[in-house]
Chains A and B, each alone.
Chain A
C-alpha cells in the first residue's frame, strides 16, 4: 500500500506548496509513490468531513504530514494539533513553519498594536476580528513551539529537490541529513579578507561586477559593502550549486533561517561585522535581519521606557 501524504497550510502564502509542485519530473515520480489524502491547495476537502460528520475538525490519517506556515491564531493551532495527531511523521516545511518567517515580523509589536494599525486603520470598524473569526494568539509561533516536529526543512520556499529528497527518504525509511552549512560555503565569489572591507549599507545600488564574467570573478558582496546575510544563514537554497540570490548577483536575504537551530541571525550578523571591525551601526534597520526568524521569542515588542 502506498504511504499517505497530507499537506496542510497555516499562516502561509502557498509558496511551499508551489515549490513541491515545481519539482519537475520528480513530482511525477512522487505522485506515483504516495496517495495524497489532504492538500487544501490542490483538492477540495472539508475540515469537518464531506457531510459534516467529523465536525468541527477531522483530518485524515497520513504517514507523512507536511505543514507550511506558522501559528498565528487559534484555528491554526487546532488544525496543527489535529495534523500532529493524524500524521506519523510530521515535516515542518518552509521558514514560516520552522522559524516564523515573514508573518512573524509582527512579533515586533504587540497583538493589540497589530490589530489597531493593520486591521482598524482607515476603517470605522473598531472590532474587526470577532467570532467566528478565530482570535489572534499573543504572537506568531513556529510550529515546533507548539507540537513535536520530526523533520525541519526551512527555506522560503525550500528547494524543490530537497523536499523531494526528504519525502523519498521517508518513503524508503532512510535517514536524511540536511545541509548544515552557511550560504557562504557554496558561494563562489572572491573573498579578499577583512582588511579590505567597505562600510556596509543596504542594497540600494547594484553590486560591482562584470556581467560577462562568471560569479567566481565577482567580489564577495559583503566585502563590497552590501548587507549580505550569507554568513549567518543556513545554506541549501541552491542545492550543491551557487545560492539562488547570488546567482542573480543579489545579496542573501536570510530566508533559510539561522545556520544552527536556535541561532539568532541579528545577533550573529552584528557580531560577525563587529568582530571584523566593521561599523555595524551603519545598518539602521537592524531588526529586519530577523525578518525570517522572528518566532521562538526572538522578535519582541520594544521595552516601554
Chain B
C-alpha cells in the first residue's frame, strides 16, 4: 500500500458514519489511507468540495450516504446521486480520472459493506496509480 495515498470519505451522519463507527467497534480492518469527514447528509457535499480535495492532493474521494429511500432528509441522497454523475464526467474534463470518485450507499447496519467499499476504492486507486505515466512527455 502507498503510505502517501489519501482517500477522503465524506460519510453522512445518519448511515455511513454510524456504519464506520460500528466498523470500529467491531474491529474490522480497512486501509489506513481513508480519511473520514462526517457530513450531515451526502447531499450537502458540493462537487467543488470533491474537486478541492483532489486539487489538494487526495488520491480519491468517496461520498457515502444512506440507501435510496432511507435518507434522513428524505431526498438528500437523491441529490447526491444526481450530482455524482456530474462529478464523474466533469473530473475527466478537468484532467482527473473518473475512477478517483466513488458514490456508495451504506446503511448503519452494514459495516462490512463499508469496509469492502473502502478496500475496493483503495485497490482501484493503486491500480490507477500504477497505470499512470510517470511524466507527461510530449509525443512526436
Contacts and interface: CB of A to CB of B under 8 A. Distances in A.
- What does DSSP make chain A's interface, helix, strand, loop or mixed? helix
A172 B87 CA distance: 46
Contacts of B109: none
A298 interface: yes
B136 A110 contact: yes
A199 B140 CA distance: 41
A300 interface: yes
Nearest to B46: A271
Contact of B136 (A280, A281, A301): A301
A274 B97 contact: no
B138 A112 contact: yes
A270 B94 contact: no
B48 A270 contact: no
Interface residues on B, range: 20 to 34
Contact of A303 (B82, B86, B96): B96
Contacts of B48: 263-264, 267-268, 271
Contacts of A267: 47-48, 51, 86-87, 90, 94
Contacts of A110: 136, 138
Given A267-B47, A267-B48, A287 B93 contact: yes
A286 interface: yes
B37 interface: no
Given A110-B136, A263-B48, A264-B51, A277 B82 contact: yes
Interface residues of A, number: 27
Contacts of B138: 110, 112-113
Interface string B37-70: 0000000001110010001000000000000000
Interface string B90-113: 101111110000000000000000
Most buried by A among B46, B83, B93: B93
B140 A116 contact: yes
A205 interface: no
Nearest to A297: B55
B95 A303 contact: yes
Q: Lowest 9 CB-CB distances: which A-B pairs, in order?
A: A300-B95, A112-B138, A270-B86, A274-B86, A274-B82, A271-B47, A267-B47, A287-B93, A267-B90
Interface of B: 46-48, 51, 55, 79, 82-83, 85-87, 89-90, 92-97, 132-133, 136, 138, 140
6 contacts: A268-B47, A270-B86, A274-B83, A299-B94, A303-B97, A304-B133
